[in-house]
Amino acid sequence: MLLLLFGALLVGGYFLLHMTYLKLPRCKSAVKLHGKTVIVTGANTGIGKTTALDLARRGARVILACRDRRRAEAAVQEIIRESGNSQVIFMQLNLASLKSVRSFAENFLQSESRLDLLINNAGLMNTGKTEDGFGMIFGVNHLGHFLLTVLLLDRLKASGPSRVVTVASKAFEMGKLDFNRLMSHRDLASGSNNFQLFKKYSSSKLCNILFTYELAKRLQGTDVTCYSLHPGVINTEIGRYTGFWWRLCQAPISFLFFVDAESGAQTTLHCALEQGIEHLSGHYFTHCAPLLNIEVKARDDAAAKKLWELSESFCGLS
């Protein structure tokens, strides 16, 4: 009897936890997107796929910008089937290759007349180097998205009002930028064990937030706004390249405390669709609301400017 009572208390406590602390708010926007064009990077799985499906249901022309053709084309068919919107297409994009980013931008600008939403969603926590010799996490999570955004800015401006939404993470709180290491090693930190990979991931998310902060300054006077966000603690495939023991230890935590991709897409959708938030351009959002008391390092003007200039140099833009 005591065991049954204890079990009931555990289940009740877990349910209460999910309905309060772990429950994420939903995007309330009813905006329709007929005639609008959207790019979502990493849209063949997880939060990106869920985001793309929602935008397709609203009538947008949705470009799934992904590396894996097979998985992306399968996602395209699934989204078309579930949304009833045939204006969903795949375009090849490998964020670990600056050449691929340039090729994607060129192909997009030649084939599409407008761009209303750019959602920089793709991310990974993987060891190794990019095609251009950058740390994989820095190269994909920040640098590839930086170049993609810059190359598409003129089309975004011409299509205004338009938005750039970049999926960051609360993990940025554990991140830091060592510009000396970035310049000398083209990476955010040393090492390749799971903890060191997480440190690099956290620092790449700080890059996402500083990039958005600096981008907002450079977009002042235009009809383009930008936002970064924490999607929540989500059960996705982002850690699929981490070691076996890391994944084994994380599995029960993910099962019990992480929420699904649909919940994780809600703040992305809020930043993409909510009307009246234009004055919050450059801000970081969580739980479908701006975090106004964000850490000082995420509002470091000098660091944001230096990261932008270094990124330009790395991409051959300066």
**Cβ(168)–Cβ(221) under 8 Å?**
no
Closest CA to 52 of 23, 25, 24, 78: 78
- The CA distance from 116 to 162, in Å, is 5
**Cβ(29)–Cβ(270) under 8 Å?**
yes
Cis omega before residue 252 (within 30°)? Answer: no
Helical spans, DSSP H, in the chain = 2-19, 46-57, 69-83, 98-111, 136-138, 145-158, 179-185, 194-218, 244-257, 261-264, 266-273, 301-314
- The CA distance from 20 to 143, in Å, is 36
Which residues are annotated as catalytic?
201
Closest CA to 65 of 116, 100, 111: 100
Closest CA to 197 of 258, 134, 137: 137
Q: Find the distance separating the first CA and the last CA of the chain, reported in whole Å.
A: 72
Amino acid at 70: R
* Residue 170 DSSP symbol: G
- The CA distance from 37 to 65, in Å, is 13
